[in-house]
């Protein structure tokens, strides 16, 4: 068991791209930690630098009390699942999952028991005797995840571990992954560009942009109080309303706005989008378009004039120049 300490870490590629730029992060022992951000923000590079697959240009990585910055990947006690999962093609699923245990000389019966249990949790129970070539992409991904989990390293690093799964399997695998991580209390860092996945899974999220961390916090913190307009735009299934007023930008989530006799915004209903048990209503308010969420069967008619308001604690102000939250 070990936390991860990242101190002044930069990873610069030979072409000069600073993919990771002077980062300081402490990932706690046993934590499920998400690296979240748009394509190209440096998530994968940071994960690979923790694993030792990329060399750090500056700074240090420690796992528990050991500084590992100059250690080979195999000496870092990390297990990693990549986007291109690299299973051994000549081994069955069961053999692939049990492989890390076999290498360590763990008893055959324990190997088998671990493979069956881990595979079961990831809906691979019926596929234990297949080879990777006989699996779908999503099944291969789950087999790779099972192998990493079975490796019982000190730290588990996952690069988009659920990206190849269809929506339903993704939800199932997500729940399993969270449950398993809780049971194993294994320090786990996962990369995702899916904000909903990060919110649902992680204990804490680092929202990244251009090699830096814009905000580090619990899902609730980053959802309720995004540190800047970049994070405000990135987090949330429906985009946050960001409305310039005077020298600030007012930010309020559609989920926190409700119709009221008087309030923040008044406009004409122009669009209603079905989100399942709720609908997203768009109001035309002159220059601005304001979204708010209503329960099913409460949708207003197109063309109606509606005023919406939010509790004061849910109305945020951002500096117009810097985009930073005004506290």
Residue 231 engages ligand ATP in binding (rule: CB under 6 A): no
Segment near ligand ATP (CB under 6 A); pick from 12-20, 55-63, 278-286, 305-313: 12-20
Sheet containing 212-217: which strands, arranged edge to edge?
Answer: 78-81, 155-159, 187-192, 32-36, 204-209, 212-217
Residue 73 engages ligand ATP in binding (rule: CB under 6 A): no
Residue 236 engages ligand ATP in binding (rule: CB under 6 A): no
Rounded distance between C-alpha atoms, residue 3 and residue 59, angstroms: 17
Residue 147 engages ligand ATP in binding (rule: CB under 6 A): no
Number of residues interacting with ligand ATP: please give it, by CB under 6 A.
Answer: 13
Cβ proximity to ligand ATP, 124 vs 158, nearer residue: 158
- Indicate the SS3 state at residue 312: helix
Q: How far apart are the first and last CA of the chain?
A: 37
Q: What is the CA 238 to chain-centroid distance, rounded?
A: 17
In the structure encoding, which two tokens stand for residue 253, read together?
A: 């989530």
Segment near ligand ATP (CB under 6 A); pick from 9-17, 150-158, 162-170, 216-224: 9-17
Rounded distance between C-alpha atoms, residue 106 and residue 115, angstroms: 12
Binds ligand ATP (CB under 6 A): choice among 5, 10, 17, 59: 17
Strand partners for 158: 81, 190
Rounded distance between C-alpha atoms, residue 291 and residue 277, angstroms: 16
Q: Measured from the CB of residue 26, what is the shortest distance to ligand ATP in angstroms?
A: 21
Q: Measured from the CB of residue 307, what is the shortest distance to ligand ATP in angstroms?
A: 40
Rounded distance between C-alpha atoms, residue 316 and residue 39, angstroms: 27
Residue 214 engages ligand ATP in binding (rule: CB under 6 A): no
Binds ligand ATP (CB under 6 A): choice among 2, 33, 43, 173: 43
Segment near ligand ATP (CB under 6 A); pick from 11-19, 246-254, 291-299, 302-310: 11-19
Residue 53 engages ligand ATP in binding (rule: CB under 6 A): no
Binds ligand ATP (CB under 6 A): choice among 34, 41, 122, 150: 41
Binds ligand ATP (CB under 6 A): choice among 33, 34, 44, 254: 44
Q: Measured from the CB of residue 14, what is the shortest distance to ligand ATP in angstroms?
A: 7
Cβ proximity to ligand ATP, 115 vs 201, nearer residue: 201
Strand partners for 272: 281
Cβ proximity to ligand ATP, 19 vs 189, nearer residue: 19
Residue 193 engages ligand ATP in binding (rule: CB under 6 A): yes
| Strand residue runs (E) in the chain | 4-12, 18-27, 32-36, 58-63, 66-67, 78-81, 155-159, 187-192, 204-209, 212-217, 241-245, 248-252, 258-259, 265-274, 278-285, 288-295, 305-309, 316-319
Interface contacts to ligand ATP, rule CB under 6 A? 13, 15, 17, 19, 37, 39-45, 193
């Amino acid at each position: 068991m070990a936390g991860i300490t990242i101190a002044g870490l930069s990873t610069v590629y030979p072409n000069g791209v600073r993919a990771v730029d002077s980062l300081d992060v402490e990932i706690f022992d046993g934590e499920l930690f998400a690296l979240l951000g748009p394509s190209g923000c440096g998530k994968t590079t940071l994960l690979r630098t923790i694993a030792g697959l990329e060399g750090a240009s500056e700074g240090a990585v420690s796992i528990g009390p050991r500084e590992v910055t100059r250690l080979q990947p195999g000496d870092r006690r990390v297990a990693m699942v990549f986007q291109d999962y690299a299973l051994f093609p000549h081994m069955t699923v069961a053999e692939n999952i049990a492989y890390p245990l076999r290498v360590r000389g763990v008893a055959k019966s324990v190997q088998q028991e671990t493979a069956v249990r881990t595979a079961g949790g990831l809906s691979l129970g019926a596929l234990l005797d297949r080879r990777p070539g006989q699996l779908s992409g999503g099944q291969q991904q789950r087999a790779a995840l099972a192998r990493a989990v079975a490796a019982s390293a000190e730290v588990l690093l996952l690069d988009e571990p659920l990206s190849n799964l269809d929506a339903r399997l993704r939800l199932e695998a997500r729940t399993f992954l969270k449950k398993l991580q809780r049971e194993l209390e294994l320090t786990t860092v996962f990369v995702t560009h899916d904000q909903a996945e990060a919110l649902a899974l992680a204990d804490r999220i680092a929202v990244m942009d251009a090699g830096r961390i814009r905000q580090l916090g619990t899902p609730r913190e980053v959802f309720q109080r995004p540190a800047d307009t970049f994070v405000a735009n990135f987090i949330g299934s429906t985009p946050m309303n960001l409305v310039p007023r005077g020298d600030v930008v007012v930010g309020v989530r559609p989920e926190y706005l409700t119709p009221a006799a008087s309030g923040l915004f008044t406009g004409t209903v122009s669009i209603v989008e079905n989100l399942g048990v709720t609908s997203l209503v768009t109001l035309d308010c002159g220059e601005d378009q304001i979204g708010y969420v209503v329960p099913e069967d409460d949708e207003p008619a197109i063309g109606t004039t509606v005023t919406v308001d939010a509790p004061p604690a849910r109305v945020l102000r951002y500096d117009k120049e810097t985009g930073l939250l005004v506290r």
